[in-house]
Amino acid sequence: MDWTMKDFEQMLDYISEPFYYLQYYVFQRDFGISFDIIYQPEIIEAAPISYKQEDNQHIFRVQINGKMTNFAISSEGYVLNGKPFPRLFSEYWDISVNSSGKWYLVNITSL
Nearby residues of 106 by Cβ (< 8 Å), 6 or more positions away: 16, 19, 59, 94, 95, 96
Let me know if residue 2 belongs to a domain. no
Q: How far apart are the C-alpha atoms of 34 and 36, rounded to whole Å?
A: 7
Element (H, E) at 9: helix 8-11
Q: For position 17, which CATH number holds?
A: 3.10.450.240
Least confident range of 1-15, 29-43, 77-91? 1-15
Q: Which domain holds residue 64?
A: 8-110
Binning pLDDT at 50, 70 and 90, where does residue 3 land?
A: low
Let me know if residue 3 belongs to a domain. no
Give yes or no for residue 91 having a pLDDT over 70.
yes
What letter represents residue 72's amino acid? A
Q: How far apart are the C-alpha atoms of 10 and 12, rounded to whole Å?
A: 5
Q: How many domains does the chain have?
A: 1
Q: For residue range 56-86, what is the model confidence (pLDDT) as tens digits?
A: 899 999 999 999 998 888 878 788 888 888 9
Average pLDDT over residues 33-62: 91
Let me know if residue 86 belongs to a domain. yes
DSSP 32: T
